[in-house]
Structure 1
Amino acid sequence: MTDVADVAGGTDVTTVRVGDPGPAATARLLAEAAGRIDAPDLVLAISRGGVRTVHTGGSAEPGPVDRERLAYELGSASKPFAGLLLARLVAQGRVRYADRAADLLAPGFPVHPAVRRITLRHLLTHTSGLPGLPADFYPQAVPRWSTDPYGGYPADRVVRAFLRARPRHRPGTRWHYSNFAVSVLGHTLAAATGTPWEVLLHQQVLAPLHLDATRVRPGPDGTEAVGHRRDGTPVPALDTGGFAAAGAVRATPLDLLTFLEAHVGPEAHAGLEAHVGGPEPLDPTLSAALTDVCRPLLRRGRRHAHTHTLTWFHHPSPYGPVLFHAGATLGQQAFLGFRPDTGLAVAATATRRVHRADTFVATAYDLLTETP
C-alpha cells in the first residue's frame, strides 16, 4: 500500500505494510512486537511525524477487507473522544468544566448534596466519588455477562442512577475509575446542548478531524472486526446501552492514527490542517481543546506518582512524556498513545478478549515508551 489519500479522512501521508518499501526498521519492530501477541486479527500502527507504518496479522485467515480498514471496538479507549468533545464545548463557551452535572441534567431535582457538587470535570477525571458502575447494574448484567451485560441498562436508567446516587467520597478528593461517571458526562452534555450524544460527537470531533470510519454503532456487514473469547469463539458486537460515552466508539486503525496525530503538537496540527482543513486553519476551538486535553491536571496514588491529564494517563519515558489510554470489550482490545515531544503515535487493536496472561497492552505500551 502506498498513498492512502482515499482513506483515513483524505490524509496525504504514507502507510506502509510490512514487506513494502518504507521505514524498514519500524516495520521490523512492529513485526517482532506482533509475534508476542496472540489474536485472530491484530493491527499495530506507528506514526512518526505523520509517516505511518502499519503491521497487520493474526491467526485468522485474511478477509475481503484489509484489517486496517475494519472498525474495532475501543471500549474504554473511547474516553479520549469524550474528553476532546468536552474540551471543545468548553472552548466554544457552551459549557464550563465547573458546571454541575445535576443542574444541567435535571434542574431543581432533589439530589444528595454530594451529587449536587459533582462537576463535568469531576465526571471526566474519575474524581466524582461515583462507583465504577451503578449498584443496580450487576443484577441485570451478571446473567449475560459474557454476551450482553450493558444492553439492558439504557440511558434513562443511567441518569436516574446518578440522580439518586450517594457518592463514596466528596467530589474532587479521590480518584476512582468510573465508567458510570463518564457515561453520565455524555448524557449531561447531550442535555446541555439539546443534541444527542452520537450527533454531538460527530459534529464536534469526528467530522472536523475527518474520522469518516469512526462511529458509535456497528457499521455495514463486512466493515466491523469480530471479537473473540479466549478460546477463539466469536462474540457479538458490543451494545453499550446507556454507557455510550464511556465505551461505544469503534474505529479503524487508520482513523485512530489520524486522531492521535491531531494531539502531538503544533507541528502535527499544521500537518493536520493540510489534509483535513484544506486552505483553512484548524478551528481555534478544536486546537484549544487538543492542547487542553494534553495538559497534566492531577496526581494520585502513593506519593502522587500517577499523573493524569483531563482524559489521558500521563507517564514519563526515556523520550519524554507519553499519553495513553487502553480499552477492552467482550472480545476486543485497543491501545492509543502518543509522545507530544517527539511526534510518535501508536495505535493497536486486537480481537481476543483480555486475559490474565495477555501481552497486548504491555507490548503496545513498550512500542510507545521504548521506541527511539
Structure 2
Amino acid sequence: MEDTKQNRSELKDSLLGYFLADLILVERNPNNEVYQPPLPLKGELAWSIPSAYTAFNGDHFALVPLMRKYAISQGRLPLNPESIVGYRDSVLAYQSKSGVLLADIAALSRCDEMWIFSTALPALESVGSLAEGVAVELLFYLENRRRQGNESAVYWVDVNHLVADSVTPALAKLNFPVDLVRRVLSKDNPEVVSFVDRILGGSQALPRVAFCLHDPLDSKYADWLGAGAHLKGYVPLVPSKAIELGDGPTDLVLFLWLGLLRYADEVWSFPSVETRSLSRFQSFLGRIAIEHLGMVEIPQSWAEFDVPKIKYGDSWPLTARERRPVALVRGIQ
C-alpha cells in the first residue's frame, strides 16, 4: 500500500494510527505481494482465537505482564482482570470487594478458558486454599459453563515458572467436577458459594463491558478511560491496556485487539485528541464492530473523563507553544 504525506493528510490521521491500521488491514501473500483480506474474514479469524481468563492471587500482581505474554505464546487471547478491570480504579468506584469481583466476573463470563496462576499444587485439595477472589471465579466459571451447556477448560500454571528462565511453564489441565469444587468450597469458604449463587440467581447483576476505542496516540489517557468507565457502571475494555504492544509481535497484538471486540457489549469511540476525528485504525475497528458484530458505537466526550489537557485547559501547559493545541483540543468538546 502506497504511503504518502498526501494520503495521511486526507485521512486526518496520526502517523501511529495510520501505520497501525496498515499492519492490521494489510497482509502479504506467499509471493510477498501486498493485499487486503475481506474485513469479515479478518474478524472471523480474530474471533476464533480461544480466550483465557488469567486468574491469580493478588500477591503475584507484579507478574501480570508475564501472564499475558505466556497466554499469547500458547495461542490464547488473554483477559487479565488487572489489565482490564484495574484493581485500584474498581475499588475507588465500587468501594466494596463484591463490586470489584462483579466487574472481574463480567470479563470472566465471556471467556472460553480459565487459567489459574498459583504456587499451590494443581489438585482438588488446593481449591480450598485459593485466594477468595480466585475461588469465586473458579466456581462461577464452572457453574456458568455448565448452565450454558459448554465444556469447561481449567488450566493450572505454576506462577514460579514465569520468572525462571531455565523452565518453560507447563499448562496442567484440571478435570474438577463442579459439584466437587462446590462441596470443597462449601466446607472451607461457604461465603464464596453463597456469593456465586447470588450472581447465578440474578440478585447480583454483572456490569456491562464497554470497548473503549481511541487513537493509539491517546494511549496516555487510557487510565482515565478505565476510571471513568467504572464510574459510569461499566467494565472498561481498553485495548492498549488489556494487551500491550510489547506483549508480542506488533501485528499479532493488533490482531488480538480486534479479537477483544467479541467480549464487549458496546463500543465507545473517542475522537483523536490531536486531529479531532477518528483515526483510520479506529474507523476500521468501529466498522467491524457495527457491520459484523451488530454492536452499537457510542460517541464519547473526553471532557467526561477528566483528561488533564481538557479539564485544566490553558492552565495546564507551561509554554505558549503548547497552549494553542490545547485550545484546539478543548474545541472538540
User: TM-score of the superposition, structure 1-length normalised?
Assistant: 0.27
Q: More relative contact order in 1 or in 2 (CA 8 Å, sep 6+)?
A: 1
Where is the helix percentage greater, Structure 1 or Structure 2?
Answer: 2
